[in-house]
Amino acid sequence: MEEQWISASPCAGSFPLSVQLLCVFLICVLALHQCPAMPLSSQCVDESFCTSSLQDYYSQLVNLPSHINERSLATWSYVENINLDRIPQVIHEASCHTSHTCSGFDHAFALETIPVSLRVPVLKKNPACFPSASYSLEFELVTVACICAISRLG
């Protein structure tokens, strides 16, 4: 039996029909099956889903070595961001002490303090998930530090 070849679509290329069908099948399986590499954003999950891992993750963000937030040229302190409908309920966010200058430098350098933010995973209560699971995995933008950089205007 001779293999059929299709090249009608510019995306298909010159592959045998069996290979093209296999590719379509694998794409459908990946789209329908939740694998560990795919994000769980907006999917319902149980409260026990990685709760301890999230708590550990946030404690590592705040417990930086030797009070680096106070020794930095762009100093910052931590402010509690509290949301009772989220796990973790308390996230410590960096709050830059100054927004325009870096301490200890001559103003001729035109340096400024810039907050550094990361998208971090959180579990949020989601009434649409009731009754099986009550949380959905989402990402929040959290300021984790402040840096001193040359001003874009300078």
Is residue 65 domain-shared with residue 75, that is, in the same domain?
A: yes
127 and 52 belong to one structural domain:
yes
> Is there a single domain that holds both residue 65 and residue 125?
yes
Could you tell me if 33 and 45 lie in one domain?
Answer: no
Judgement on whether residues 3 and 22 belong to the same structural domain of the protein: yes
38 burial type by CB count under 10 A (0-12 exposed, 13-18 middle, 19+ buried): exposed
Q: What is the pLDDT along the chain (154 residues), one digit of tens a residue?
A: 444 444 444 444 555 665 555 545 445 444 444 434 334 456 666 666 566 666 666 666 666 667 888 888 889 999 999 999 888 899 989 999 976 667 666 666 678 889 999 998 888 888 877 666 678 888 999 999 999 888 777 5
Residues 3/18, Cβ–Cβ less than 8 Å: yes
Domain carrying residue 19: 1-38
pTM (2 d.p.): 0.59
Per-residue pLDDT, 59: 65
Q: Specify the pairing of strand 86-87 against strand 90-96.
A: unpaired
Are residues 16 and 80 both part of a single domain?
no
Same domain, yes or no, for 141 and 68? yes
Task: Kindly report the CATH number assigned to the domain that includes residue 133.
Answer: 2.10.90.10
SS3 state at 38: coil
Measuring CA to CA, which residue among 105, 97, 61, 98 is closest to residue 76?
Answer: 97
Tokens of 40: 């769980």
| β-bridge mates for residue 80, sequence order | 92
Give the torsion sign (CA, 58, 61, 62, 63).
Answer: positive
Number of domains comprising the chain? 2
